[in-house]
């Protein structure tokens, strides 16, 4: 080409504001991978498609590069600051290096848009915007002719809302295309639809969702629908743009797996090509007579027709007539389906309807079924709760729901619809903060109890000082963590990228509710819930020395060998000491309160009140006395005495740490005289039986109070009979005089009871605190670090458990069989682990196993909410926590009397783990899988115990009714055989355990390292397996349904939430080691941060 050199030189010297971009770059020519010369700094100016290269800003242009028939190669690493221009003519490539990453990216964008191809893309984009503006012009022009007063009223737009059921999606529709035109006659189209929303107030185009890719047909019918959640701002005036793309190569379709700005169109060279687009108003679809729109697809210039799109509105509770006999069943061709809407109830997001009437409903006609379901819903609403009543408590727990829609054929040529839902939970942060607050209070009490031990011999005193110093340091760490969590704002879940952050180590990783709502022609509305969460583990502390299972075992073995420094107490005894201290702190204020009530009743001369107060006082005091019945208290008191300076024993004795002597000391034949004992002696002879006398005095003083009350009431009855009818004024005087006598006679006895109780409390607290001192001293600082690690793991596990329990309770409020099982047997909680037994994941599995086992110490209690705050309340201490779940009054009334009276509900957690990745392959061939085998065997025994308890206490008709009811005993035997078989990557163990859990009304959990990639594969496989086994999914559609859920479902959205990229973190080599059905579809995996 010929150029006018003078004009180019003149253009290069123009002022800076005349150029599209300018700045310093280091430039050289490149042949292959070798640079011809070292890059030299040049001042670069870009104008249109001309790039001027100058030695400095004021010099003449030394070279001009024409940016045509070239393309840009960007280096994708986080630190790369260079790009390469490659030319089709074959001339050497141009290497350009910027000063920083942002500068490099801005140059790449400017150079990429500088050629004529970029200009054409801009023109096409402007044409599309012009078409959309033209559609708006008619309404804008009409407004110009309105009177000025009306125009003023329209200053703030008023949009028409879509009327929907509370907490149900605002709008749902399905899509299909017909007669699509390919660019070449012989090409088979692989199409998908990009759905974008034009908001009426801002006129901004926002990408919303996509369908799956349908291959090899010009008439695609998409199984993935479009759904807008309740909180989405969509109105009748909202416009929806549908853009159809032809995918050339799914593995290269990078735009579908990456995040682009809403306004930016994808480039044409990323594995797809634009076919056509169309736009419609939401109001047109909602108000259309057929509830359907047939739209014409046109090219970007609006001239050429390239096919049509059918948009079908989905309405809740309406069944579509017709069958699927006309579906093409050839495996190579596209199968055409019509859409089956989902019947839903007014209870909203978290309630199932008609779940217990499936057998009868399946035999009805469509019309009868509709009427029956309407009756069931109406009946449920009147005798139960409405969606409005249910929403507040659910909204307090679940946030940011994501909803996906599918339609699949059944094996009998019918249709079913699936709504997949995923929501994060506020409990991810609420439960750990409550738990840390309890840890702080518990540790402060323990530190104070250690300080209150009194004077100790130098050896023990130095030990105490060291322990307190370490405990104070650990307490400060808990307080700092709680303060940092209090500052957290924003998302209510912890992403997988944050699992190593210290300030978030108590927070569960990626905790979500995953729900599948299935509606089939038989009106079998069914909910299937799985809680997905990263394996509870202490990621910040690391796994260099293993996890809790190994660390605790090693620590306990080492602690046994430290007897020369301190007294060894077994873990059972230290746990007993903590229990005694907890009982003291709980019962002492209650007894004191009931004793005061007794005196108050005596002063008021109220026989009935006196009896009730005495009854409560007796019950609590008996519990108090029983708490000190253990031999541990006696042995600990003796051990504490030996630790005092200058102690003298009445007879030789060695501190005992186990219950070697029995006998009920409460019933001695010759009790000692009631008197307040002095504190534990320091320099006098120590009598081992002294504790027995002090302890027994509490019971004896209570017996004195009981005897006195009996005499007073008996005397009162006799006086009432003898007096008969006396002068009223004289009777009043007598009542006052007698009332004073009651109080005066009871007061000394009650004071004695309190004094005896105070003496017992002082001695018991000191003795138990001494036991805890030994536990801490024997293992500093490892003991406290293990406690911290265990607290971290337990916090993550507990947050998931509380979420699972609340969701299960809400969905089963109308299932009387489940509620009976809940308070009679307890709740089964089954965890599915996907961790390998190799390298760090083995340590994660050890942490997870201990954390889940610790959940056995958790009890639940359901209470009626007294305010609008429905978040659960946690009480208790380490080793024993009670979770109080609050329900609104109308929901609380649905519970059985036992639960309403506050009965504690037990949990039965079990864990089954099967590693499935390439690291598990290494473990099976070169490492060790004993850890996984032991965990599975131990938890199988726990599952059998729960099943035995269930069969003993519950009638058989309480089991859920499935279409094919398998024998639970046979399933357990099959699970036992698979665990014993020790087969490599035997995923059938997980399938069987999940089936047993569902049939026992349990709560399901699925976990991997971050609950993102392997968890997504497992959850989607479980969902499709349920559709196949329980809802007759057509066998030819199993793989396609699986790909739909993995490519366009909630789980890929979960990946996006975590790593800002729609790609599972697998590579081809890793997937070769995965079981067949745990591999994602092509184009959905690749390199991504995990």
- β strands within 137-204, DSSP E: 171-178, 190-198
Cβ neighbors of 1008 (< 8 A, separation 6 or more) are 534, 535, 833, 834, 835, 1014, 1015, 1018
**CA 54/CA 804 separation, integer angstroms:** 66
Judge contact between 529 and 514, C-beta under 8 A: yes
**CA 492/CA 429 separation, integer angstroms:** 7
Dump the DSSP string for 212-226. Answer: --EES-SS-B-SB-E
In what helix (H) or strand (E) does residue 632 lie, and over which residues does it extend? helix 631-642
DSSP 656: -
Name the residue among 503, 515, 511 with its Cα closest to residue 535: 511
Judge contact between 389 and 888, C-beta under 8 A: yes
Sign of CA dihedral 1072, 1078, 1084, 1089: negative
Sign of CA dihedral 644, 648, 653, 659: negative
Name the residue among 883, 857, 866 with its Cα closest to residue 805: 883
**CA 340/CA 763 separation, integer angstroms:** 72
In what helix (H) or strand (E) does residue 1046 lie, and over which residues does it extend? helix 1038-1048
Q: Determine how many CB atoms are found less than 10 A away from the CB of residue 829.
A: 27
Judge contact between 1065 and 1090, C-beta under 8 A: yes
Name the residue among 638, 644, 670, 685 with its Cα closest to residue 657: 638
**CA 999/CA 362 separation, integer angstroms:** 21
Q: Determine how many CB atoms are found less than 10 A away from the CB of residue 688.
A: 15
Judge contact between 828 and 910, C-beta under 8 A: yes
Name the residue among 248, 243, 254 with its Cα closest to residue 188: 248
Phi, psi of 209 (to 5 degrees): -160, 180
**CA 120/CA 565 separation, integer angstroms:** 83
Residue 1008 known to be catalytic: yes
Judge contact between 529 and 808, C-beta under 8 A: yes
**CA 1085/CA 1068 separation, integer angstroms:** 9
**CA 33/CA 20 separation, integer angstroms:** 30
Torsion of CA 366, 370, 375, 381, to 10 degrees: 140
Judge contact between 337 and 327, C-beta under 8 A: yes
Cα atoms in the 13 Å half-sphere on the side-chain side of 453: 30
Question: Which string of b and e fits 123-157 if b means at least 16 CB within 10 Å?
Answer: ebeeebeeeeeeeeeeeeeeeeeeeeeeeeeeeee
DSSP 839: T
Selected catalytic residue, list 1008, 1044, 1050, 1061: 1008
Beta bridge partners of 171: 228
Dump the DSSP string for 987-1041. Answer: THHHHHHHHHHHHTT-EEEEE-SSSSSHHHHHHHHHHHHHHHHHH-B-GGGHHHH
Catalytic residues, by residue number, are: 1008
């Amino acid at each position: 080409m010929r150029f006018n050199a003078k004009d180019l030189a003149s253009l290069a010297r123009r002022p800076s504001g005349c150029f599209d971009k300018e700045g310093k770059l280091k430039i050289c020519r490149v042949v292959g991978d070798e640079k011809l010369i070292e890059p030299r700094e040049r001042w670069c100016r870009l104008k249109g498609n001309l790039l001027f290269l100058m030695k400095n800003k004021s010099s003449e242009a030394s070279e001009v590069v024409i940016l045509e028939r070239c393309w840009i190669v960007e280096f994708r690493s986080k630190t790369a600051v260079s790009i390469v221009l490659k030319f089709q003519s074959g001339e050497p490539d141009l290497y350009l290096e910027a000063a920083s990453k942002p500068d490099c990216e801005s140059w790449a964008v400017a150079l990429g848009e500088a050629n004529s191809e970029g200009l054409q893309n801009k023109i096409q984009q402007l044409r599309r915007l012009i078409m959309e503006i033209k559609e708006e012009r008619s309404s804008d022009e009409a407004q110009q002719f309105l009177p000025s007063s009306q125009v003023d009223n329209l200053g703030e737009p008023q949009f028409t809302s879509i009327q929907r059921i509370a907490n149900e999606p605002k709008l749902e529709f399905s899509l299909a295309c017909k007669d699509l035109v390919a660019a070449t006659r012989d090409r088979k189209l692989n199409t998908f639809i990009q759905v974008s929303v034009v908001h009426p107030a801002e006129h901004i185009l926002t990408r919303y969702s996509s369908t799956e890719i349908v291959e090899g047909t010009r008439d695609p019918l998409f199984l993935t629908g479009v759904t807008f959640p309740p909180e989405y701002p969509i109105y009748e005036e909202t416009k929806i743009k549908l853009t159809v793309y032809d995918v050339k190569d799914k593995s290269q379709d990078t735009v579908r797996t990456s995040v682009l700005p809403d306004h930016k169109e994808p480039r044409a060279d990323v594995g797809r090509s634009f076919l056509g687009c169309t736009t419609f108003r939401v109001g047109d679809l909602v108000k259309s007579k057929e509830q359907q729109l047939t739209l014409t697809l046109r090219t970007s210039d609006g001239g050429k027709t390239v096919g049509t799109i059918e948009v079908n509105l989905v309405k809740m509770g309406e069944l579509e007539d017709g069958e699927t006999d006309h579906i093409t069943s050839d495996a190579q061709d596209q199968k055409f389906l019509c859409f089956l809407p989902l019947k839903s109830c007014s209870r909203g997001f978290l309630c199932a309807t008609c779940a217990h009437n499936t057998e009868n409903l399946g035999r009805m006609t469509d019309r009868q079924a509709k009427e029956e379901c309407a009756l069931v819903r109406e009946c449920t609403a009147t005798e139960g709760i409405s969606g409005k009543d249910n929403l507040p408590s659910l909204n307090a727990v679940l946030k940011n729901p994501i909803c996906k829609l599918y339609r699949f054929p059944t094996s009998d040529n019918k249709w079913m619809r699936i709504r997949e839902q995923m929501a994060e939970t506020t409990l991810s942060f609420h439960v750990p903060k409550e738990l840390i607050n309890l840890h702080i209070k518990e540790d402060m009490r323990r530190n104070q109890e250690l300080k209150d031990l009194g004077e100790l011999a130098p050896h023990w005193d130095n030990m105490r000082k060291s322990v307190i110093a370490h405990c104070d340091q650990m307490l400060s760490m808990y307080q700092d963590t709680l303060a940092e969590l209090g500052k957290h704002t924003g998302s209510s879940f912890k992403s997988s990228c944050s699992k190593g952050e210290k300030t978030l180590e108590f927070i569960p990783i990626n905790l979500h509710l995953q729900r599948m709502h299935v509606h089939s022609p038989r009106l079998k509305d069914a909910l299937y819930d799985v809680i997905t969460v990263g394996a509870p583990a202490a990621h910040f502390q690391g796994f260099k020395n293993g996890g809790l299972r190994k660390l605790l075992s090693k620590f306990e073995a080492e602690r046994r060998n430290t007897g020369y420094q301190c007294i060894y107490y077994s873990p059972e005894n230290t746990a007993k000491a903590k229990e005694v201290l907890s009982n003291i702190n709980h019962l002492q204020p209650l007894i004191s309160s009931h004793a005061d009530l007794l005196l108050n009743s005596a002063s008021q001369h109220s026989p009935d009140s006196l009896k009730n107060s005495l009854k409560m006082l007796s019950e609590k005091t008996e519990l108090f006395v029983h708490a000190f019945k253990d031999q541990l208290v006696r042995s600990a008191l003796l051990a504490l005495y030996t630790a005092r300076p200058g102690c003298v024993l009445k007879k030789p004795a060695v501190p005992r740490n186990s219950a070697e002597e029995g006998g009920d000391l409460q019933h001695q034949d010759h009790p000692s005289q009631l008197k307040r004992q002095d504190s534990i002696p320091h320099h006098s002879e120590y009598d081992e039986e002294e504790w027995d006398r002090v302890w027994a005095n509490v019971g004896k003083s209570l017996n004195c109070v009981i005897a006195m009350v009996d005499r007073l009431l008996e005397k009162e009855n006799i006086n009432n009979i003898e007096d008969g009818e006396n002068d009223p004024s004289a009777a009043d005087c007598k009542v006052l005089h007698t009332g004073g006598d009651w109080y005066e006679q009871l007061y000394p006895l009650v004071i004695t009871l309190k004094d005896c109780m105070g003496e017992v409390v002082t001695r018991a607290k000191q003795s138990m605190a001494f036991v805890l001192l030994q536990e801490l001293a024997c293992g500093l600082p490892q003991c406290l670090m293990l406690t911290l690690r265990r607290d971290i793991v337990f916090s993550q596990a507990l947050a998931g458990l509380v979420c699972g329990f609340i969701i299960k309770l809400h969905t089963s409020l109308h299932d009387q069989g489940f509620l009976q099982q809940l308070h009679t047997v307890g709740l089964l909680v089954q965890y599915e682990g996907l961790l390998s037994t190799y390298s760090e994941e083995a340590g994660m599995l050890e942490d997870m196993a201990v954390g889940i086992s610790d959940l056995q110490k958790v009890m639940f209690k359901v209470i009626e909410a007294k305010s609008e705050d429905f978040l659960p309340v946690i009480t208790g201490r380490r080793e024993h926590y009670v979770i109080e779940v609050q329900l609104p009054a109308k929901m609380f009334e649905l519970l059985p009397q036992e639960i309403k009276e506050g009965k504690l509900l037990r949990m039965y957690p079990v864990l089954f783990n099967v590693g499935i990745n390439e690291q598990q392959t290494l473990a099976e061939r070169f490492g060790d899988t004993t850890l996984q085998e032991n965990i599975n065997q131990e938890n199988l025994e726990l599952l059998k115990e729960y099943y035995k308890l269930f069969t003993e206490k519950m009638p058989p008709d309480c089991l859920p009714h499935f279409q094919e009811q398998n024998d639970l005993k046979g399933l357990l035997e099959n699970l036992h055989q698979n665990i014993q078989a020790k087969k490599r990557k035997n995923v059938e163990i997980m399938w069987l355990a999940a089936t047993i859990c569902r049939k026992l009304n349990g709560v399901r959990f699925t976990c991997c390292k971050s609950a993102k990639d392997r968890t997504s594969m497992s959850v989607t496989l479980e969902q499709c397996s349920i559709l196949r086994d329980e809802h007759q999914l057509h066998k030819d559609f199993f793989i396609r349904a699986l790909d739909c859920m993995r490519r366009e479902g909630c789980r890929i959205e979960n990946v996006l939430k975590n790593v800002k990229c729609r790609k599972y973190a697998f590579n081809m080599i890793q997937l070769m080691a995965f079981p067949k059905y745990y591999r994602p579809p092509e184009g959905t995996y690749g390199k991504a941060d995990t």
